[in-house]
């Protein structure tokens, strides 16, 4: 396929009539519909649809000729080009790497995961030197002498055959596939361990092959895909971390941290500690998925690092048209750049959004509520930043009861990470520039419904002062029979000469509205 995309910049009316532009449109349509029916609706990259609407081939061709194509849409990732480019680059790199017998190295789909994990460990612990070369575009050619044994085992398993003569699976790829099947089909740990023991026997008791679910999960932890368990007070008072890490009871409500369970031997009232054996199970556990390593993995991944500074280098900038194509066109983003020019100077610094809400995993009839906290990096292009692959689960807050304003307690681990990312920064290896830099990040906004907004902000969204914009000037009225608050006086936000301001019908309480809109309060006024 022709890689010359200069025709995409011909978006003028006269330019779109040129033969090279029409030939480029035909080339794009041939690629997009290479294995699809012409009536299939695909995302249209014209300047009117902008990948937001789907059209069939004929309509898409008309749009591209009439409106023009978005010049920033390169490569054509929404139409399958990224996979094809990756396959081609992998084939070329593999051919170059396997050119000599001394440098022969096996390659499979698990290779990038292992090398990204190795680079992540190097950048965090021993530092990656500037300009370090990469093998097959996924990682370093050799591991450091200080590399942990678990990472060395990953590289060994990535290259080792599942059994002598096996050509379809590498050992590491097979184990990761089993873990994926376990999660997808909701297998219990005991059933998964039974399967592994049967496979262990089938492979002639291979000492390297995992024999239990616990051993198989070590691969997931070594890849940096693990989480941290943090004990919490059953009444949402504190997290048992930092100064409370060794506490046996909550320092505020004195509730016990543990619930004890007899495992074997003796009875519950036996005084012989050798006979009685107990396990300590926490009352409540918060799952924390560390944010910093996952942001570092974005830069270390050769597939994502090239897109991190897209918002500055490749985004179409036409402020005069006031068209919002990306969060970087928003007022909040621009205001941050003006107030903190040192942060905005490096396009790799990450802008984040936080989204959270509670839901009932057992259905609406179940009162058990659980709260996931998601973090979204907005540096990526619009067709990537909202994909599920790039949305990061940061916290999983357990139930059974709703959090209310106690959500602040559970957000502490994430807030500590955000403070570190803003004040200090974290040394990170950029696979695109082959250099290390100090990565910083900022939380731009939160995304939630109105009740969750009340919990996150601390401003009540109920009662007579429910409006976060009007604040103390909120016009509210208590319905005596309905026993609810209603908010009626919104005519004050209309233009001063609007006809509804002078309407005296019963719909408006039989009175005119002459007041100007309420003034928005500054941050200082809100604190006061």
pLDDT at 95: 37
Q: What is the distance between the alpha carbons of residues 47 and 66, in angstroms, rounded to a whole number?
A: 9
pTM over 0.85: no
At residue 375, φ and ψ (nearest 5 deg) are -120, 130
pLDDT at 205: 78
The closest of 375, 371, 413, 373 to 395, measured between CA atoms, is 373
Q: Which residues of the chain have pLDDT under 70?
A: 1-3, 10-13, 82-159, 167, 222-225, 260-278, 316-322
Reduce the secondary structure of 393-459 to three states and give it as a string. EEEEECCCCCCHHHHHHHCHHHHHHHHHHHHCCEEEEECCCCEEEEECEEEEEEECCHHHHHHHHCC
Instruction: Tell how strand 371-377 and strand 350-356 pair up.
Output: antiparallel
Q: What is the distance between the alpha carbons of residues 28 and 124, in angstroms, rounded to a whole number?
A: 42
What are the C-alpha distances in Å from 103 to residues 55, 62, 129, 132, 438? 48, 51, 22, 17, 33
Secondary structure of residue 70 in the 3-state scheme:
coil
Q: What is the distance between the alpha carbons of residues 299 and 122, in angstroms, rounded to a whole number?
A: 13
pLDDT at 155: 66
> Residue 113: how many CB atoms within 10 A of its CB?
23
pLDDT at 110: 53
Say if CB 16 and CB 68 are below 8 A apart.
yes
- Please return the burial class of 267, using the count of CB atoms within 10 Å of its CB with bins 0-12, 13-18 and 19+: exposed
The H or E element that residue 344 is part of is: helix 341-344
**Tokens 């209310």 correspond to what residue?**
404
pLDDT at 373: 94
pLDDT at 100: 35
pLDDT at 104: 32
Residues 6+ apart with CB under 8 A from 407: 356, 371, 397, 455, 456
């Amino acid at each position: 396929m022709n890689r010359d995309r200069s025709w995409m910049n011909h978006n003028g009316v006269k330019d779109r009539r040129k033969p090279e532009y029409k030939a480029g449109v035909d080339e794009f349509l041939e690629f997009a519909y290479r294995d699809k029916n012409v009536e299939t609706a695909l995302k249209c990259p014209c300047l009117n649809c902008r990948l937001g609407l789907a059209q069939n081939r004929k309509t898409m061709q008309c749009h591209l000729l009439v409106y023009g194509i978005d010049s920033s849409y390169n490569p054509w990732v929404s139409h399958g080009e990224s996979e094809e480019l990756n396959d081609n680059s992998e084939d070329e790199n593999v051919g170059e790497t396997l050119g000599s017998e001394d440098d022969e190295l096996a390659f499979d789909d698990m290779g990038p995961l292992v090398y990204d994990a190795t680079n992540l460990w190097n950048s965090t612990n021993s530092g990656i030197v500037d300009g370090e070369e990469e093998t097959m575009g996924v990682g370093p050619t050799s591991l450091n002498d200080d590399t942990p044994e678990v990472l060395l085992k990953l590289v060994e398993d990535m290259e080792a055959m599942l059994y002598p003569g096996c050509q379809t699976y590498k050992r590491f790829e097979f184990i990761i596939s089993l873990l994926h099947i376990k999660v997808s089909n909701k297998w219990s740990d005991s059933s998964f361990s039974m399967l592994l023991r049967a496979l262990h026997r089938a492979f002639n008791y291979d000492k390297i092959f995992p024999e239990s679910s616990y051993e198989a999960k070590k691969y997931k932890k070594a890849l940096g895909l693990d989480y941290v368990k943090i004990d919490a007070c059953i009444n949402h008072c504190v997290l048992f971390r930092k100064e409370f890490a060794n506490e046996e009871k909550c320092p505020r409500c004195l509730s016990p941290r543990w619930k004890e369970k007899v495992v074997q031997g003796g009875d519950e009232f036996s005084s012989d500690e050798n006979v009685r054996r107990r396990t300590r199970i926490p009352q409540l556990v918060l799952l924390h998925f560390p944010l910093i390593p996952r942001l570092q993995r974005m830069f270390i991944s050769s597939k994502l690092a090239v897109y991190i500074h897209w918002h500055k280098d490749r985004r179409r900038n036409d402020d005069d048209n006031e068209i919002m194509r990306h969060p970087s066109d928003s007022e909040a983003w621009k205001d941050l750049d003006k107030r903190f020019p040192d942060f905005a100077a490096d396009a790799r610094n990450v802008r984040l959004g936080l989204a959270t809400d509670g839901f009932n995993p057992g259905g609406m009839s179940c009162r058990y509520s659980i709260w996931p906290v998601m973090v979204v990096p907005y540096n990526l292009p619009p067709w990537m930043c909202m994909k599920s692959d790039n949305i990061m689960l940061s916290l999983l807050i357990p139930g059974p009861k709703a959090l209310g304003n106690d959500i602040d307690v559970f957000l502490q681990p994430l807030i500590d990470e955000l403070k570190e990312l803003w004040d200090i920064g974290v040394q990170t290896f950029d696979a695109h520039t082959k250099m290390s830099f100090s990565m910083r990040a900022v939380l731009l906004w939160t995304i939630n419904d109105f009740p969750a907004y009340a919990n996150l902000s601390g401003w009540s969204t109920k009662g007579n002062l429910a409006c976060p914009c009007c604040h103390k000037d909120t016009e509210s009225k208590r319905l005596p029979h309905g026993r609810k608050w209603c908010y009626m006086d919104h005519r004050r936000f209309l233009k001063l000469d609007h006809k509804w301001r002078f309407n005296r019908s019963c719909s408006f309480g039989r009175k005119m509205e002459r007041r100007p809109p309420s003034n928005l309060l500054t941050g200082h006024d809100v604190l006061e």
